Amino acid sequence: MLLKNADDCYQLFEEIYAAFNSGNHILTAIGVRTAFDRISELLGATPEKSFGEKVKFLSSTGLIGATEENALNVLVRAGNAVIHQRWSTDAEGLGLLISILENLVYRNLVVKMDASFLEARIPPKVRRGRS
């Protein structure tokens, strides 16, 4: 269920990387903010929540810790500044925003899914009789 919209998520990252590699800083930042919006919904946040409320939701449900909450708030603020204040950052700043987003996806989607697949293959514990 977590990756029911994996194609959408994959396309978002493909477009973010393409914009970044083409030097399109504004489009990259907007893409990162948009991807966060969609990913937070994949993780259970409702669409009507604001970006800040989505970060708080992820924190309150234990999907992110305090450090990642701060990082995601930076990501949201940067995206808002690009859209509403005509602000831009350099490639290093964009790389950091992309890393914040990739980390969220990796920990909450990829690792969870991989761990559940691995867990299903682990044999049950054998109970040994005591002598």
Q: Which CATH class is domain 6-115?
A: mainly alpha
Burial of 2 (0-12, 13-18, 19+ CB in 10 A): middle
pLDDT recorded at residue 2: 44
Helix ranges (DSSP H) in 22-110? 25-42, 51-60, 66-85, 91-105
Q: What is the pTM of this model?
A: 0.81
| Tens digit of each residue's pLDDT, the chain (131 residues) | 445 556 778 889 999 999 999 999 999 999 999 999 999 998 999 999 999 999 999 999 999 999 999 999 999 999 999 999 999 899 999 999 999 999 999 888 776 665 666 667 778 888 887 65
State the amino acid at position 127 in one-letter form: R
pLDDT recorded at residue 115: 61
State the amino acid at position 45 in one-letter form: A
Among residues 66, 72, 74, the alpha carbon closest in space to that of 103 is found at 72
